[in-house]
Amino acid sequence: MNAKIDPKELKVLADILALVLEDQPGQSANALEAIKKRAKKDTITGGALKNLFKHIANDPPSQNNTNDFQNKSYADSIELIKARSHVANLTHNITQLDIAIRALRRQNEALKSELLLTQRSRAELQTELHTKSDRFPFKTATIIISVLCGLFFGIAGTLVVNSAMYQPYQPDNTTYLH
């Protein structure tokens, strides 16, 4: 490990650790993920981080480094203010997105429950329709037999009416008997 600690790295580490200890669970989880990704990218182990903290605790940054930070130019302070403003804006955006995600999850759960109720209602209607169709299992056969019976009765009735109304001409056969 280097004897000299980069102040920028120390500040980034301090900012990430501050976010880890935040009360807001979304920011804490994101900060932990950022630490994991950064450690994986730089191939830093947990032991290396532990040694870094020990090194900082045993040999804190000197007062000269603090004076160097205080003597930065005006442009650096403006850049720092812009960066802090940008971080504040990003934090606000993350919070707003988190609120939107929670609202969408609630809406999604409501739609899922409505879909479940609709599916249950559909299943009940199908069951009821099936039981109604089971009450008359031979419904089509009954209809066909009824139509055929009606047809036969119609034909028979027509024959009866025709035979009763129209008598065919019958010649007098008595002349042939003599």
Domain layout of the chain by residue ranges: 1-71, 74-137
Per the structure block, which two tokens stand in for 81? 């203010």
Residue 58 DSSP SS3: helix
Q: Long-range contacts for 94-99 (Cβ within 8 Å, ≥24 apart)?
A: 94/26, 94/27, 94/30, 95/24, 95/26, 98/26
The top-scoring range by mean pLDDT among 20-29, 86-95, 144-153 is 144-153
Whole-model pTM: value is: 0.34
Span 76-85, average pLDDT: 78
pLDDT of residue 1: 45
Q: Is the pLDDT of residue 71 over 60?
A: no
The whole-angstrom separation of Cα 62 and Cα 69 is: 11
**Which residues, 6+ apart, have CB-to-CB distance to 1 below 8 Å?**
48, 51, 52, 55
How would residue 2 be classed by pLDDT, with cut points 50, 70 and 90?
A: very low
pLDDT at 128 over 70: yes
Per-residue H/E/C for 31-55? HHHHHHHHHHHCCCCHHHHHHHHHH
